Amino acid sequence: MPTKIPIYSGCEGLYKIGMKHPNIGLYFNKFFDGWSDQWQIELGRKQTWLKSMADATDTRSSRSDLARYAAVRLASLVGDRRGVLRCYSTCSPLALGLGNAHPVENGFSWHHTQGYPYIPASSLKGIVRSFANKWLDTNANISRIFGREGEGTASVGSVVFFDILPLSTVALRVDIMTPHYAEYYQKDNVWPGDWQDPQPIPFLTVAKGQTFAVGLAPRQINNDEDRFDCQLVLGWLDQALTSIGAGAKTTVGYGRFFRAAKEVNAEQQIEQEVHKLRAPKAVARTFTTPIEEEMYKDGYEDKEVFMVPLTNKWLGRMNETASSPTGLEIANRLYNWYKKYRPKEIANPNDKNKKKLDSITHVITSHGVKLT
């Protein structure tokens, strides 16, 4: 290893954290440490380092909660926009961001804040648009749905695409591609031949069976035409992801998705979590005194339930402490309970209630407090 590591000044402490850093994407992009003393990458070091990235994501359970929460928030946003959320799972390896610059030659697409693999909304939009243009014989206005392209004519479309987000921690695997004629691809006037050495190149992929949430919404939620376009594009999305796929190397089978019963069930679970997310949060009740808290536990806010502990418990405690502040507090709270839940009995009490109310009011007035 070199004596100096090529990282930003002041980041040495962060580097020492190593693979414990919660954002694997940040670590992948900024802290590659596989250099030799001559600033070369030793043979096999790329694959070993990528394997460590894949192993780290498999054990990073803390990211699963964040990924799930982000997907539920996405579903909530899509629902507010009268859109549709679908879940798809990978049925083949998914190669993302291979064109991103990186010391191991092939980069990867990581969510910039959460640090998990994802597909940007712009990529999803390009996939579906390309599918519609190339494979569909449709009379739909592609430019209106996806927006016009070209300098001076660019515009937004009638359908909004959202980032494709994972539902939980994403399992990664290391694949290898082996160009047999590297010199032929890199240099002019060089022909492919058996004498050229194959060049194994490792790269990260998303493993099979990883589930992602995909969201679409109409640009204008009150526009019938935009909502119709959204439903139309939803059908194209199904076909595009299952037939041509997403990411890199789709021509050799990478990036295919599927949607079956498990994915439909995942959609339903997310919808339930959205309802919980939107439910009003219960505010913890605070009490000013222990007497108030105890009365609350005895059912103080129920006109039928509290009458039993009032008769069998609180009147006796009130009389036992009649001359103390505690007795006054109990009497005041009992009198206020009658005023709120049984006001007619104060105005016209029966024999039983008259005895109770007389006892309560006697304690209050004995402290020089006027009844209101």
Residue 62 has pLDDT above 60, yes or no: no
- The confidence score (pLDDT) of residue 1 equals 44
The angle formed by the CA atoms of residues 339, 341 and 346, to the nearest 5 degrees, is: 40
Residue 193 has pLDDT above 60, yes or no: yes
**Crossing angle of the two packed helices 261-278 and 62-80, in degrees rounded to 10:** 80
Q: For the chain, what is the mean pLDDT? A: 86
Judged by average pLDDT, the poorest of 15-24, 67-76, 210-219 is 15-24
Q: Mind listing the pLDDT tens digit for each residue in 144-187?
A: 999 987 766 668 899 999 999 999 889 999 999 887 777 777 77
Q: Burial of 317 by CB count in 10 Å (0-12 exposed, 13-18 middle, 19+ buried)? A: middle
Residues contacting 193, CB < 8 A, separation 6+: 181
Where is pLDDT greater, at 189 or 168? Answer: 168
The three-class DSSP label of residue 133 is helix
Where is pLDDT greater, at 362 or 34? Answer: 362
Q: Which residue has the tokens 């964040």?
A: 66
Residue 70 has pLDDT above 60, yes or no: yes
Helix or strand holding residue 148 (H, E): none
Percent share of the chain, pLDDT over 70: 91
Helix or strand holding residue 206 (H, E): strand 201-206
* Confidence band of 351 (pLDDT split at 50, 70, 90): confident
Amino acid at residue number 305: V
- What does the DSSP 8-state code read for residue 312? I
Amino acid at residue number 136: L
Q: Burial of 224 by CB count in 10 Å (0-12 exposed, 13-18 middle, 19+ buried)? A: exposed
| Structural domain spans, the chain | 61-278, 290-366
Mean pLDDT, range 69-80, rounded to an integer: 94
The closest alpha carbon to 98, from 167, 212, 175, belongs to 175
- The rounded Cα 161 to chain-centroid distance in angstroms is 17
> Which DSSP string do the residues of 62-79 spell out, in sequence order?
HHHHHHHHHHHHHHHHHH
**Crossing angle of the two packed helices 351-366 and 325-341, in degrees rounded to 10:** 140
* Confidence band of 2 (pLDDT split at 50, 70, 90): very low
If phi over 0 gives left and psi between -120 and 50 gives alpha, with beta otherwise, what is residue 288? alpha
Q: pTM score > 0.75 for this model?
A: no
Judged by average pLDDT, the poorest of 95-109, 186-200, 227-241, 252-266 is 186-200
Q: Mind listing the pLDDT tens digit for each residue in 301-347?
A: 988 899 999 999 999 999 999 999 999 999 999 999 999 998 888 88
- For residue 315, the tally of other CB atoms under 10 A from its CB is 19
* Confidence band of 20 (pLDDT split at 50, 70, 90): low
